[in-house]
């Protein structure tokens, strides 16, 4: 139960698959990353002409990966519903015609929406190079991105055997719907922190010893490891479209939170969004790890990568000593 003032909220079931789909589309950046762009439903076909319509396609510009998005309800049978549906989608997106269609749809979105164009600019991609970047991304196999309210053993095993990588978000635990007693129209949703999936097969072939993935690392981990110090000054530079360059300074706390604009934020990304909006941007998400720098000019994402590499080395040394 959640208590907010005099309101008591309890967890309830999603009405149908469409409700999950609408939530994911409206909040796609919180699933696929702040540098992602969601392409709405589009009918695609297999070589034999069988049509299929995924719930959408997401392109993470920063990570240079893309997703076939399929929101599901866990009571749907893996073998008679989910697997055949996803298989047909994978066959359809493997066709050159499909990837060309998605490229044209996204290029059109860039020309019509300045916020999408800004995401490419944030990654240093000039408008003239967008098609080339998209072509390189679509050359890769897509990740199956599936928000779902429960994950069965069959679904886990099926995901592990797929050639394509799979990321699952359990909506029962990560995206919760609550209805107030006596007022079911009052709805609140909880969505994943730092777009963290519950199951991710993208590193199953990695020789990782530590088992740590980048999105498992928090700022407090870097503080505890001595890579960052309590009270360290972090800076964020941002130039809004048509505006002047703004520099924001934040102070790091021992618990990994950051204080900026006289407010304390538990998330780097939330702190970064606050700065961008203060500068006049309408952005609602941003990657805090690639926004904040240390005094010596290092992005926090670099420090995070160094931390992960250090943990890998220590794990390998530990395995060698145990052998």
- Summarised one tens digit per residue, pLDDT across range 182-237 is 666 667 777 777 677 888 887 655 444 445 677 778 889 999 999 999 999 999 99
Same domain, 58 and 193: yes
Query: Is 33 inside any structural domain?
Result: yes
312 or 253: which carries more pLDDT confidence?
253
Within a domain: 322: no
Within a domain: 316: no
- Give yes or no: residues 88 and 15 share one domain: yes
Q: In whole angstroms, how large is the CA radius of gyration of the chain?
A: 21
Q: What is the pLDDT, as a whole number, of residue 319?
A: 65
Does residue 213 lie in a domain region? no
pLDDT over threshold 90, residue 104? yes
Whole-angstrom Cα distance, residue 295 to residue 288? Answer: 16
Distances (CA, A) of 80 to 46, 77, 166: 19, 6, 19
Residue 74 and residue 44 in contact, taking contact as beta carbons nearer than 8 Å: no
Residue closest to 243 by CA, chosen among 288, 207, 199, 275: 275
Same domain as 256, residue 138: no
Q: Which of 148, 166, 200 is the last residue of a domain?
A: 200
Q: What is the pLDDT of residues 126-141, one digit of tens each?
A: 989 999 999 999 999 9
Q: Taking all residues of the chain, what is their mean pLDDT, rounded to a whole number?
A: 86
Question: By residue range, what is the domain housing residue 84?
Answer: 2-200
Residues 143 and 291 both lie in one domain: no
Are the CB atoms for 200 and 167 separated by under 8 Å? yes
The two beta strands, 143-148 and 65-69, are parallel
In a domain, 211, yes or no: no
From 146, 165, 200, the end of a domain falls on 200
Whether 289 is covered by a domain: the verdict is yes
pTM of the model: 0.80
Between 70-84, 172-186, 229-243, 295-309, the lowest mean confidence (pLDDT) is in: 172-186
pLDDT band at residue 47 using 50, 70 and 90 as cut-offs: confident
Long-range contacts of 128-136 (CB under 8 A, 24+ apart): 131/103, 131/107, 133/61, 133/64, 134/59, 134/102, 134/103, 134/106, 134/107, 135/103, 136/64
> Residue 51 pLDDT more than 60?
yes
Domain for residue 323, yes or no? no
Tell me: do 149 and 47 sit in the same domain.
yes
For residue 7, pLDDT beyond 80: no
**122/257 same-domain check:** no
Question: Do residues 101 and 187 both lie within one domain?
Answer: yes
pLDDT band at 83 (very low <50, low <70, confident <90, very high): very high
Q: Are residues 193 and 224 in the same domain?
A: no
Distance of CA 264 to the CA centre of its chain: 23
User: Which pLDDT does position 154 carry in this prediction?
Assistant: 94
Residues 6 and 45 in one domain: yes
Q: Which residue has the higher pLDDT, 317 or 111?
A: 111
Give 144-186 pLDDT, tens digit per residue.
Answer: 999 988 889 999 999 999 999 999 987 753 344 566 666 666 6
Same domain for 267 and 298? yes
Number of structural domains (the chain) is: 2
If asked whether residues 261 and 152 sit together in one domain, one would say no
Of 110 and 170, more confident: 110
Domain co-membership, 45 together with 147: yes
* Assigned domain for 35 exists: yes
């Amino acid at each position: 139960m959640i208590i907010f003032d005099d309101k008591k909220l309890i967890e309830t079931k999603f009405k149908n698959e469409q409700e999950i789909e609408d939530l994911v589309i409206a909040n796609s950046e919180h699933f696929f990353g702040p540098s992602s762009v969601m392409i709405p439903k589009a009918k695609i076909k297999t070589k034999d002409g069988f049509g299929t319509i995924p719930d959408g396609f997401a392109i993470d510009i920063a990570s240079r990966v893309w997703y076939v998005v399929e929101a599901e309800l866990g009571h749907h049978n893996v073998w008679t519903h989910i697997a055949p549906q996803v298989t047909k989608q994978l066959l359809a997106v493997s066709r050159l015609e499909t990837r060309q269609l998605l490229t044209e749809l996204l290029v059109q979105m860039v020309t019509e929406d300045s916020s999408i164009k800004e995401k490419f600019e944030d990654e240093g991609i000039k408008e003239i190079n967008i098609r080339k970047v998209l072509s390189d991304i679509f050359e890769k196999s897509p990740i199956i991105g599936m928000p779902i309210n429960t994950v069965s053993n069959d679904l886990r095993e099926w995901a592990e055997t797929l050639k394509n990588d799979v990321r699952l978000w359990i909506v029962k635990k990560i995206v919760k719907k609550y209805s107030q007693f006596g007022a079911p129209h009052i709805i609140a949703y909880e969505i994943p922190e730092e777009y963290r999936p519950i199951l991710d097969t993208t590193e199953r072939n990695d020789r990782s010893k530590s088992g740590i993935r980048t999105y498992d690392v928090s700022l407090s981990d870097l503080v505890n490891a001595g890579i960052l110090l309590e009270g360290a000054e972090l800076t964020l530079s941002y130039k809004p479209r048509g505006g002047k360059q703004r520099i924001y300074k934040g102070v790091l706390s021992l618990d990994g939170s950051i204080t900026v604009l006289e407010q304390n934020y538990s998330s780097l990304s939330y702190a970064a969004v606050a700065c961008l909006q203060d500068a006049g941007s309408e952005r609602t998400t941003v990657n805090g790890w690639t926004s904040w720098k240390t005094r010596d000019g290092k992005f926090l994402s670099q420090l995070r990568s160094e931390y992960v590499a250090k943990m890998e080395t220590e794990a390998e040394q530990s395995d060698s000593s145990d052998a």
